[in-house]
Chain A
């Protein structure tokens, strides 16, 4: 029980008023083949936070996101976004799946992919129109890929693929964004560009939940951190929860294998 102890110490002012909550997860368990992947998750994320979700491989980070988006069946529990279930908030949610989840050899152009972000607003049967394309081009500009609009997606580098996905999420013009490892395998320039975008989204009052791997940059990028290892070890303002003790609870012995930078960081705290 010591692991869930920290969850209960969530700063109470953060969800004092329900309207201030972007995401609320209660009692969430997801299990495949009888084996739980995430277990009794309780979370309350205030609006306008940049949230880093960290934890070892297999901790259920992607599963948590997918369960929030109704992409996989929940074994138990419920999720609400801005106080309502997901199905009622579709248009306020943006999603950046893992880059490897699609076939980058698919016959579409970069612009086509980004325009997919507008499909939800377009609705059934309506074709991609000029407005969608203009929005898509604008989003491509924001991620610095305007020159690549007509390229076939297989010609993109890893970082450019990731930016394409981000642009597609930007087009969704959501209030809360779920991003599954947007920093995985991208070059430093793309990483900087993504961080810039995240800060920009936050400045406009959006909430972003980001699955993240690099412990060295957590304090720098995120003002809220969820430490996850099947269960929530801790969730709260990064300054309060991102410290050695919690990291040890999250990563256990695996922490010794992590980067020097992370160890360094922990010693300093």
Chain B
């Protein structure tokens, strides 16, 4: 285990090599997070995967060609150029298959991905046997070899991240429109096809720049995971992208640092695991769509509805005894009477009662008897009135109703306005006088306590 001094040393980027590697992965993470956001929303995640796998034959061929021409075989720019070309070729083949045959996207990508990868492995095999130049180390592009990154990598990553940042800012509006509604963009005259190509080219750039760091198999995880994690926190594209870039950068930094302590753990894998950790945390805790937030909202909704049902049941039981008395008086109600009003189990009903007691709506009384407090009666009257008005509204205005009904609103007036409420109240009164059975009957409009 590394001691504290070592950790300190690495995290503060004291050592030149570590510093270089960590800064490189941080930049890469930022670029990946940004492009991944667009890729995810354009629903092209698998296209990114195809692209990265399709880079391998290009790397091998670039090496063979440059060795044959008598050049330095492992010159990074040459290899990366080969990677870009074959990656883009792979995407193009996918589009070709999709547009000119009846094979669907997923199958087309599956075919291209595996065929190109297989071809890449074969080409690398050939390259190993070449007499001139050593092909050893080429296969590091498959899994990545972060520790071997040099100043040249840093320059490339700086340029790529800069380009990606700049274009994302400049073309934010265009990319957003492209991702959301391609047809509308085209109808407005945007060159949708070229924007799409540009987006894919940027993804290709990021992918190739990341080959050294995380390798072509894991780069897709680095592209998609931060973006998917960021989606749980935000409902706006701009903040989602910033967050996604941030999560990417954080994963790159932490992953590379951790792998600096444990030389046997490849940085690419650790980076992806950190990103996955961020994803997991986001999925659970995300402010906008995290699992816990959803569970909490659902539980709160259930509790509110339970309380309303309890109050309404109590109110209507009291009301039924003496419908002609204009003023309601608090009166104890038997537990079994309440239980018969709805399909709740005893334990559920008891839980709602406990909650109502804690909220000061009912008085504590010995098990079988329930008594409303003053505040409880007021709220029960309010709830009953609101619900009856809503029910009347749903019946009378069935065509417009459903999108406006909000049973939880404090007062119906807030949504429907005073006049509509007056009309609904008048209708309820009529029904009561006629004694109609199947509609909610209100003996008198109940004014909420002001």
A116-B399 in contact given A107-B234, A128-B173 (Cβ < 8 Å):
no
- By the criterion CB–CB under 8 Å, are B189 and A97 in contact? no
Interface size class of A (residues with CB under 8 A): 35 or more
Residue of A nearest to B230 (CB): A107
- Do A120 and B180 contact each other (CB < 8 Å), given the known contacts A107-B234, A107-B237, A109-B236? no
Q: With A87-B189, A120-B188 in contact, do A101 and B181 touch (Cβ < 8 Å)?
A: yes
Which residues of chain B (411-450) have a CB below 8 Å from chain A? Answer: none
The 8 A CB mask of A113-129 against B (1 = contact, 0 = none) is 10010011010111110
Question: Is B181 a contact partner of A116 (Cβ separation < 8 A)?
Answer: yes
Asked if B235 and A107 make an inter-chain contact with CB atoms under 8 angstroms apart, the answer reads: yes
- Asked whether any CB of chain B lies closer than 8 Å to the CB of A1, the reply is no
Residue of A whose beta carbon sits closest to that of B240: A107
- Contact assessment for B187 and A93 in the assembled complex, using a CB-CB cutoff below 8 Å: yes
Q: Is B81 an interface residue (CB 8 A)?
A: no
Asked if residues B400 and A108 are in contact (CB atoms below 8 Å), the reply is: no
The listed residue (A66, A107, A119, A128) touching B231 by CB distance below 8 A is A107
- With CB as the reference atom, state the residue of chain B lying closest to A69: B187
**CB pair B180 A103 closer than 8 Å:** yes
Q: A159-B403, A187-B402 known; A116 and B236 CB under 8 Å? A: no
CA distance A187 to B236 in the complex (A): 28
Closest Cβ of chain A to B442, distance in Å, is 26
* Distance of A71 Cα from B187 Cα, bound (Å): 7
Task: Tell me, rounded to whole Å, the shortest Cβ–Cβ distance linking B264 to chain A.
Answer: 40
Contact with A along B176-193 (1 / 0, CB 8 A): 110111011111111000
| Residue B174 is within 8 A (CB to CB) of chain A in the complex | yes
Chain B contact-residue range equals 20 to 34
With contact pairs A97-B184, A152-B235 given, residues A127 and B399 touching in the complex (Cβ less than 8 Å): no
Minimum CB–CB distance for A114 against chain B, Å: 12
| CB contact list, B231-254 vs A, under 8 A | 231, 234-237, 240
* Alpha-carbon separation in the docked complex, A66 to B342 (Å): 54
Enumerate chain B residues within 8 angstroms of A119, measured Cβ to Cβ: 173-174, 177, 185, 188, 190
Nearest-Cβ distance from residue B247 to partner chain A, whole angstroms: 15
Q: Does B296 contact A (CB under 8 A)?
A: no
Q: Which residue of A lies closest to B234 (CB)?
A: A107
* Contact of A127 with B172 at beta-carbon distance under 8 Å, contacts A106-B179, A107-B41, A108-B237 already known: yes
A120/B173 in contact, CB under 8 A:
no
- Contact partners of A128 in chain B: CB under 8 A: 173
Q: Which of A93, A108, A125, A178 has the most CB of B within 10 A?
A: A108
Asked if A70 is at the interface (CB within 8 A of a chain B CB), the reply is yes
Binding site for A on B (CB under 8 A): 41, 43, 102, 170-174, 176-177, 179-181, 183-190, 231, 234-237, 240, 399-400, 402-403
22 intermolecular pairs with C-beta atoms under 8 Å apart: A69-B186, A97-B184, A102-B180, A106-B41, A106-B237, A107-B231, A108-B237, A109-B236, A112-B176, A116-B177, A116-B184, A119-B173, A119-B190, A120-B188, A122-B173, A125-B170, A128-B173, A159-B403, A178-B187, A187-B403, A189-B400, A189-B403
